[in-house]
Structure 1
Amino acid sequence: MNSELKTDRVFLEIFKNRVQAIVEEMANVVLRTGFTAFVKETGDFGTYLLSPQGETFGCPLDTGYNLSLGIPAGDVISSIGQWNEGDIVICNDPYSTGGMATHLPDVYLLKPFFYEGQIIAFGLCFIHSSDVGGKVPGSVSPSSYDIYQEGLRLAPVKLYEAGVLNEAILRIFLDNCRIPDQNWGDLRALMAALNRGERRLQELVERYGISRVESGIEDVLVYAETRVRQMIEDIPDGEYEFWDYIEKGPGGYPVRLRCKMVVRGDGIFLDFKGTDPQVRASFNIPTLNKQGHYYLVPALIRYFRTLDPSIPWNSGMVRMITNDAPSGTLLNPEAPAAIGARAATFIRLMDVLTGTLSQAQENKLPAAGAGQAAIVMLAMTDPVTGGRKVGVVQPICGGSGARPMKDGIDGMDFAVGHLRNIPAETVEADMPILIERYGLLPDSAGAGTYRGGCGIDLQLKVLSPDTVLTARNMERMEFQPWGRLGGKAGAYGTAVKNLGQPSEERTGRIDELLLQPGDTVSFFSQGGGGYGSPYKRSPQAVARDVRNGLVSKDAAYEQYGVVFHESKVDLDATQKRRSAVYGSTDEQQSFHFGSAREQFESIWSDEMQLAIGAALTVYPLALRDYLKRCAMKEIDDRFHRGEQVQAIEVAEIMAAIHRTIAAL
């Protein structure tokens, strides 16, 4: 390794820590000066340092969004013909940024950092804006079917040129959102962070010299790359396949994400062939198939850093990862596909890669977590002032998956661990609502030797007329978070309007929900999957969960075989109960998916779904999602009539459907 580095080990460690301190300080500037709750409370923003070529060499770990290793910033950097000191570029459009932005609410600012007339690095920041226009408050609706419905689009353009504000660009942006003052406040927080980062990096150059800093930037990337390559060499060479689903796509059918992970030597190739076509909904992720794209690799880089927490957190970690996300699919849609709810797909993709890696490293990966981050937002009128309010209530997550040596984390999934809880008092002070209940959901965790994390139970009451609630990215409401190696799947999520009242109704996945004063909405989120046989869980651990209200006595008996006599565990009766039922369980079952997925795949096997995908390739992209739905419905109907359909018949069934619509 020393032969590859220009920087000595001592300085490299100093440089790594200096860079980390800079990006953490930048992140804290945004956290302390941001305007919207989604920034200052939830922490959905990012601050990064990029090399002159656009690789991330500095990324915060403690504050904000830290999964942006592999940001494809090169296209934006090269699209600006002339960079001047004091320039700041603004953008949010995925298609014109080459996949750097992934949906319109993520508003990016990019600034060149100069030293003596030379660009030594770039500072990159983004905030998730609570609104950038579009058809719904918050700008993200699962039912949007093209990007024009999702808000204002900004291709890379200079907001500041040589330090001078472009008033026209700012006016266009602010005039097309519902919260102009808050958005301008958040942008100013980003600019303060960029200025702080620039000053700190210049101080680094003044202390160590420009040559050592330039070498340090490259070598800290090389060091991360070298260390990860060493870890990949410990993974057995092979091909590992897994798939999972976004629920209730257009037509009501699940949308499949499929990956074959190929490990060869010190490299990984992610083959996403078999993933469904882009959909007429907003679940598409615009990666543009950029190699090691930051929305494709997070499950892998988290795994690597879990094995070695000392690795520099930078884009060197993804240099050896290549991928093929075919054009026109969910992971590489063509414009103008809607992309607002891409986080739902991103979270499920992390489950898919965890599943593939679990087959290569069977005893090192957790079970599936809740698999959602439902951002609950309200748009309402203040009944006192008459002013309009748009704000985030809470990111509704759920429990994480159980680990090979430990229970899952209650109320928070690993996939979205960067999101922070918003205190109920803050929400109630900002908007006319009441948080009537907010806690952990009993009996939601998947049972196992190590149980999954419990889900969340939240109930809110609105106090203002004509309140519009949106809750994007609600998932795992049918297909449960899967368990591992004998562990059971976690509970699926639900939402109920006016629980316990005569007007009670289940909402299903919420797009827009109109509420009136006194209406309540209750969210019951998913528990993580369990790991290992529940009958091997310590009875004392089960008893502790019962005392803490996380597991009922009935569930302790049915799921864990633990018998209580009054308030104490009856160890003899527990042993008998476990002995009586243990032989009927399959403790070595690699994955427990739950009955809903198992029933779906009893018809829609991998072979059948691959046949659907192959048959679609001969038709125009605009027709594929429709033809897929029609073909699946036709085949479902045949199965329900008792007919058998083979994969070889799928192409002709689809061709007949196409002939019918072409003849209309």
Structure 2
Amino acid sequence: MSDQPNAAAEPALESASDTRRVDPFLMAVLKSRFEAIVREMSLVVLKASRSAVIKNGRDFSCAILTYDCRLVSTEDALPIHVTSMDLAIRPILEFFDDIAPGDIYLNNCPYTGGTHHADMIMAMPVFVDGKPLFWAVALSHHADMGAPIPTTYLPFAKNIYEEGLHFPCVRVVERGKERSDVIRIALMKIRASKVWHGDFQAQIGACRTATQRLVELIGRYGVPTVEDFVEDWFDYGERRAIAEIRKLPAGTYRYETRHDPVPGVADAGIPVRIAVTVDPEAGRITVDITDNVDNVPGGLNTSENTASGSCRMGVLNNLDSSIPHNHGSMSRIDVVMGEGKVVGKPRYPVGTSVATTNVNDRLITAGNCAFTAMGAPHGQAEGGGHMPVGNGVISGHDPFKEGQYYISQIFIGYAGNGARHGHDGWLTFCGPANGGLISLDSIEVDESMYPIIVESREIQADTQGFGTYEGAPAVGGVFYPIDHAMTVVYASDGTSFPPAGVLGGTAAASAINRKQKSSGEIVELPAFSAEVVEAGEKLVFRACGGGGYGPPAKRDRARVAASVAKGWLSAEKAKEVYGYEA
């Protein structure tokens, strides 16, 4: 930006260069070309994968990084997958000194920079004329990794030995040839292994596609031009971030939220604390999460990757959305964390299987909400989390396909987002870690792939937090297995501590998880459980709504009328909360 201070007076801004290496028009072209390559990678994963969690729910992300592990480009990716993707790739360079064209590496281990063990991260180096320039990366959330119980979310798993397979930066393709010995390990251990292998090969296809396209792109424009573009792109992201940070009031802003109690793991719940320090003069924000409790004996601990990424997400969610989310913009966010903390870097070998959701969702929420201490229009209210029964991992033996075992996470109904100044909450939010980019499952596709019936899915009126701007209401529903016993594993945060409102807004309704027995009796289910649902039984759930923003008394009458008209707000509640009568 033209008003940038000089380097002598502002040494913290020296890296935000105003130097232009590439013509602005060419820069726009190359930006779009990189995005198109990532978009093609995503289409390969989407079309070639086999499990519903990837094909239907879109729980995957693709990206391009420089060879020295700086994020260049991503497209429709889940924020939790890509915001700290550099941490998952850097160890490959440390472990291998013979990286070659055609290699592909797999990392799903939180102790070597991964998110959690269900996220299998494939990385392929891109060489041009013998020089490595980029990494093509495809990450997919796999439905099973061979844990003792059929799920990848294990809140009660004390350590990694109870979680299933970890691949701490393993070469799975060597000079173009798949390593059958490594793949054989997974095929022996993982349930529904043929489905897993199809998802695995889809990622390989995405990486190879991106490599081919990048080589073609560089062949057209040349290595120097493409490298100059990358540096200009980073500089642009950094300048944009600095300009936005300078608009914020200086100070340190704190927020605390709390994850629900988990019996035997965290009986009183888990406090999640964050301190966000804004230095407008330096154009820098520091996020400090050191003031948190020690690791818990379960899978709720964050990984270094998810904790780092979530702190960045809380900041980026409060800056202009047009800022490129690349290495340049994220370089203006410093993260300070402790080791051996439930929020921060875990101490080996504690469990981290739920590191992308739950406590991690609360961390992102805390970052979103910390900015409300600046007052309106900053920040947003708390939103709901990922894992009610309607988002559980289902598994069983398909009665219509002899000998076939199925397992997959479903997204039948998920949580709503909290409100922010000027905007009511986002209905199809799902959870903070993906920011609305998980797709709500197609009921017809789920029913065609798995032996289940989804009896109902609907918005639950009056479950949102009320305020000047309302949170999104919750989604609830009923589903059940056909002629067999089905296991569903879930970790439903928000039953004890539902999403809170901010600046005078009210809290949303809590999550509900129930079972209807064959007799018709309704029983309450634990918030964290692996439940067997027999033939004739049904699962009944309600996710969380989102918290409200600002005093309800200041809500515009037209907004109240619109909520009533959509069926999200009953006439009775409109009168009670807002004094509104049609």
TM-score (norm 2): 0.91
Residue number in structure 1 paired with 2:54: 39
Residue identity opposite 1:313 in structure 2 = H
Per the alignment, residue 426 of structure 1 pairs with 445
Q: Does 1:409 align with 2:422?
A: no
Moved more, 125-134 or 65-74: 65-74
User: Taking structure 1 as reference, are residues 3 and 527 closer, same or farther at Cα in structure 2, changes over 3 Å only?
Assistant: closer
Contiguous gaps of at least 5 residues in structure 1: 564-568, 570-664
TM-superposed CA distance for 1:288, in Å, is 6.8
Question: Does 1:364 pair with 2:378?
Answer: yes
d(CA) in 2 for partners of 1:530 and 1:269? Answer: 27
Q: Secondary structure at the match of 2:317?
A: helix
Paired letter, 1:341: V
2:285 match: secondary structure: strand
How many Å separate the matches in 2 of 1:322 and 1:443? 39
Question: For the aligned residues, what is the CA RMSD?
Answer: 2.0
Answering whether residue 212 of structure 2 is matched by residue 193 of structure 1, we say: no
Equivalent residue, structure 2, for 1:521:
539
CA distance in 1, matches of 2:102, 2:81: 28
CA-CA distance at 1:76 after TM superposition: 2.1
Q: Residue 464 of structure 1: CA displacement? A: 3.4
Deviation track 1:405-462 (CA, whole Å, cap 9, x = no partner) reads 1221224256231110111111111222111110111110111222111101111122
Give the partner amino acid of 2:393.
M
**Does the CA contact (< 8 Å) of 1:123 and 1:197 recur in 2?**
yes
1:642 corresponds in structure 2 to none
Tell me, in whole angstroms, the C-alpha distance in 1 between the residues paired with 2:555 and 2:32. 41
1:485 to 478, 499, 503: 503
Taking the TM superposition and a 5 Å limit, the aligned residue runs for 1:300-311 are: 300-306=315-321, 309=322, 311=323
Partner of 2:115: 102
Deviation at 1:543, TM superposition (A): 3.6
Q: Is the 8 A contact 1:159 1:165 kept in 2?
A: yes
CA contact (8 A) 2:154 2:299 kept: yes
Which of 406, 418, 428 aligns to 1:389? It is 406
Report the 3-state secondary structure (helix = DSSP H, G, I; strand = E; otherwise coil) of the residue aligned with 1:435: strand
**1:29-178 alignment, distance < 5 Å:** 29-61=44-76, 68-71=82-85, 72=87, 73-95=89-111, 97=112, 99=113, 101-178=114-191
2:375–2:503 CA contact under 8 A, matched in 1? no
Q: 1:352 aligns with which of 351, 366, 371?
A: 366
Change beyond 3 A, Cα 1:396–1:76: farther
Q: Is the 8 A contact 2:517 2:536 kept in 1?
A: no
Give yes or no for contact 1:237–1:263 (8 Å, CA) kept in 2.
yes
1:487-566 correspondence to structure 2 within 5 Å: 487-498=505-516, 502-563=520-581
Q: Would the alpha carbon gap of residues 457 and 445 (structure 1) be closer, same or farther in structure 2, given more than 3 Å must change? A: same
Residue 395 (structure 1) shift: 5.6
Structure 1 length normalisation: TM-score? Answer: 0.80
Alpha-carbon distance in 1 for matches of 2:254, 2:98: 45
Q: Which moved more, 1:123-132 or 1:523-532?
A: 523-532
Aligned counterparts of 2:99 and 2:268: Cα–Cα separation in 1: 48
The match for 1:295 is 310
Letter in 2 for 1:83: I
**Structure 2 CA distance, aligned partners of 1:205 and 1:155?**
31
SS in 2 for 1:459: strand
* C-alpha contact 2:376 2:421 (8 A) present in aligned 1: no
Q: Using a 3 Å threshold, how does the CA distance of structure 1 residues 273 and 59 change in structure 2: closer, same or farther?
A: same
Contact between 2:276 and 2:370, CA under 8 Å: does it hold in 1?
Answer: yes
Question: Secondary structure at the residue paired with 1:285?
Answer: coil
**Residue equivalent to 2:5:** none
- Gap change, CA 1:499 and 1:5, over 3 Å in 2: farther
Query: 2:200 & 2:54 partners in 1: Cα distance?
Result: 11
After superposition, what is the alpha-carbon deviation per residue over 1:381-401, rounded to whole angstroms, capped at 9, x for unaligned? 222333222123326421111
> Do the aligned residues in 1 keep the contact of 2:395 with 2:405 (CA within 8 Å)?
yes
Work out which of the residue numbers 456, 479, 491 in structure 2 matches 1:460. Answer: 479
CA distance in structure 1 between the aligned counterparts of 2:453 and 2:372, rounded to whole angstroms: 42
Q: 1:539 deviation in Å?
A: 3.8
Greater mean deviation of Cα atoms: 38-47 or 261-270: 261-270
Does residue 215 of structure 1 match 2:228? yes
1:253 positional shift: 0.8
- Kept in 1, the 8 Å contact 2:57–2:410? The answer is no
Distance 1:543 1:323 in 2: 43
Question: Do the aligned partners of residues 541 and 357 (structure 1) sit closer, same or farther apart at CA in structure 2, a change above 3 Å counting?
Answer: closer
Q: Distance in 2 between matches of 1:282 and 1:435?
A: 29
CA contact (8 A) 2:454 2:479 kept: yes
Match of 2:303 in 1: 286
- Structure 2: distance between partners of 1:313 and 1:532: 29
Distance 1:23 1:242 in 2: 36
In structure 2, C-alpha distance between the alignment counterparts of 1:385 and 1:413, rounded to whole Å? 31
Residue identity (%)? 25
Q: Deviations over 1:56-76 (max 9, x none)?
A: 101113x66675133212222
Which whole-Å CA distance do the structure 1 matches of 2:415 and 2:305 have between them?
30
Quote the Cα distance in structure 1 between the aligned partners of 2:199 and 2:286. 38
State how far apart, in whole Å, the 2-side matches of 1:469 and 1:169 are: 29
Q: How much has 1:258 moved relative to structure 2?
A: 0.9
Q: CA deviation at 1:251?
A: 4.6
**Counterparts of 1:500 and 1:230, CA distance in 2:** 61
Alpha-carbon distance in 1 for matches of 2:122, 2:213: 18
- Identify which range, 423-432 or 390-399, moves more after superposition: 390-399
| CA shift digits 1:516-556 (9 cap, x unpaired) | 10111111111111122223334444344334322222212
* TM-aligned CA deviation for residue 491 of structure 1: 0.8
2:341 maps to what in 1?
329
Residues 230 and 67 from structure 1, CA distance in 2 versus in 1: closer, same or farther, beyond 3 angstroms? farther
Letter in 1 for 2:22: T
Structure 2 match to 1:437: 456
Out of 247, 250, 259, the residue aligned to residue 260 of structure 2 is: 247
- Cα-to-partner distance string for 1:454-481 (whole Å, 9 max, x where unaligned): 1011111222333211123x11111121
Q: Greater CA deviation, 384-393 or 447-456?
A: 384-393
How far is the alpha carbon of 1:289 from its aligned partner? 9.7
Q: Which amino acid aligns with 2:463?
A: S
C-alpha contact 2:63 2:75 (8 A) present in aligned 1: yes
- C-alpha change, 1:302 and 1:251, in structure 2 (3 Å) is closer
Whether the aligned pair in 2 keeps the contact of 1:400 and 1:452 (CA below 8 Å) is yes
Deviation of 1:122 (Å): 0.9
- In the TM superposition, what is the alpha-carbon distance from 1:205 to its structure 2 partner? 0.9
Counterpart Cα distance in 2 of 1:221 and 1:412: 29
**Aligned-partner Cα distance in 1 for 2:79–2:289:** 25
RCO higher in structure (CA 8 A, sep ≥6): 2
Q: 1:121-143 CA deviation, whole Å, 9 max, x = no partner?
A: 11111110000101211222211
Q: Which residue of 2 aligns with 1:596?
A: none
- Is 1:317 matched up with 2:334? no
Asked whether the equivalents of residues 365 and 403 of structure 1 are also in contact (C-alpha less than 8 Å), the reply is yes
Contact 2:255 2:370 survives alignment (8 Å): yes
Q: Quick check: 1-10 or 108-117, which moved more?
A: 1-10
**Matched residue type, 2:274:** C
1:256 paired to 2:271 = yes
Corresponding residue SS for 2:319: helix
- Does structure 1 conserve the Cα–Cα contact (< 8 Å) formed by 2:81 and 2:115? no
1:281 deviates by 1.1
Q: Distance in 2 between matches of 1:313 and 1:499?
A: 48
Match of 1:594 in 2: none
